Structure formats: C-alpha cells, structure tokens
Amino acid sequence: MRIYTRSGDKGETSLIHGVRVPKHAARVEAYGTCDEANSCIGLALALLPAGPEWDEVRRQLAVVQTKLFHVGAELATPPDKPVGWPIGDDDVTNLERQIDAW
C-alpha cells in the first residue's frame, strides 16, 4: 500500500468533496487546532483516575470530543456543501453551561 501520490501537493490540500485550498488557509489551521484539542482531551481522559466519581467528567469530555469532531468536519466542508453534523446555538449554550459548572 502506498501512502504517497508522487504528484506533489503544490501547497494545497483537499477539503471534503475534493475542493482544493491552500495549506495555509485559516480553515485548515482551524480544523488542525480542533484535532489537537481533541487529542489533548483524549490524553486527559486516559490519565483520569479510575472510579465512578469521574464518570460525569468522562461523559462531558466525550461530548466535547464529539462536538470538536463535528466542528472539524464543518471546517473541512466547503461553504456551499451540506454539513453532516452542523454545530448550532444549543451546542454553544450547552458548552458554556458546562464551563460555568466546572
């Protein structure tokens, strides 16, 4: 199996649906940042102590990870294409409530 194309990327990458954008585009940086945040949360989850007292933290962080995945997918989708899991006002409100609770 090859993991390279041998055609070069000319400084571009593909969004969902094959639309090409520069690798320095703000949306590429943004979905990379979402991936990094998701990875950090995954590490935090892996390092949480065992015990039921951490179950709610695990549950909430898993929700945040899922939403970050959805944000990344939205960022990687061209503006004129449908998004599978759009982020809405309720998502923002729920996250703000959780931040306030913590």
**pLDDT surpassing 80 at residue 29:** yes
Q: Judge whether 70 and 87 are in contact, CB under 8 Å.
A: yes
Joined tokens for residue 78: 């061209």
Q: What are the C-alpha distances in Å from 37 to residues 11, 62, 75, 80, 93?
A: 24, 12, 15, 26, 19
Cα Rg of the chain, angstroms: 17
Q: Which helix (H) or strand (E) holds 22?
A: strand 20-22
84: how many CB neighbours lie within 10 A of its CB?
A: 9
The residue extents of the domains of the chain are 12-101
Q: What is 12-101's CATH topology?
A: Hypothetical Protein Ta1238; Chain: A; (1.20.1200)
Q: What is the pTM of this model?
A: 0.80
Which pLDDT score is estimated for 6?
67
Mean pLDDT, the chain, whole residue set? 90
**pLDDT surpassing 80 at residue 12:** yes
